[in-house]
Amino acid sequence: MNNFKALMASSDQPESLGYALRNRRFQVFEDLIDKNFPASQVVHILDVGGTAYFWEDKNMVLEGRVKVTLLNLEEEHNLPFGVNSISGDATDLSQFDDNSFDLVFSNSVIEHLYTWKNQKKMATECMRVGKKYFVQTPNKHFLVEAHYALPLIQYAPKSLAFMVLTKTKISRMRKWREQDAKQYLEEIRLINEKEMKKLFPEASIYKEKWLGMTKSFTAHNL
């Protein structure tokens, strides 16, 4: 029962599976940073689609080990130490030269780009502007769809998924607003392992496991 509750809870909740796996993933990320960059180097990271909340309590930021630039459609303000923000488009990073950042980081963003074409654009840009990259996305074929916390809904027709989200409270114990449900169903295109390897052909793929199942993939060249 505890495993089930953790699986269904939002990843923002400390008791959730998503929260636990995200922390484990970040430990892997920290270890890779330490292995790939000298201790004396301040590592400049572009976080595509990230949030200040994600970074504000991380030791590597607080200790000045990394400097993080958030890139989102809108610039953020009143940011914590070690974090700044710019506006931009994940599929077009033409404001940056090749290898502008030591590392490009992205967490659960590439699946929100509507189309495979846009996902290819983002992947290409991440590899271009970063000397290194670390890009994560939920596994399309995991038992529970990550955004709705519903088993196997990713295989349902969109019309059925829309009805479930807007007419019942079984997704995160609430009815979704129709405009929010429509937006998510349009923008989310989940990625499988084969596609992740096509997007990042020279990457290593780190797989997050839960009860033997792969919950998410991270492509990286660290």
**What's the CA gap between 63 and 43, in Å, rounded?**
12
pLDDT-based confidence at residue 3 (cuts at 50, 70, 90):
low
CA dihedral for 201, 110, 102, 41, sign (positive or negative): negative
Per-residue pLDDT tens for 146-175? Answer: 999 999 999 999 999 999 999 999 998 999
Per-residue pLDDT tens for 59-103? Answer: 999 999 999 999 999 999 999 999 999 999 999 999 999 999 999
pLDDT-based confidence at residue 21 (cuts at 50, 70, 90):
confident
Whether residue 9 is predicted with pLDDT greater than 70 in this model: the reply is: no
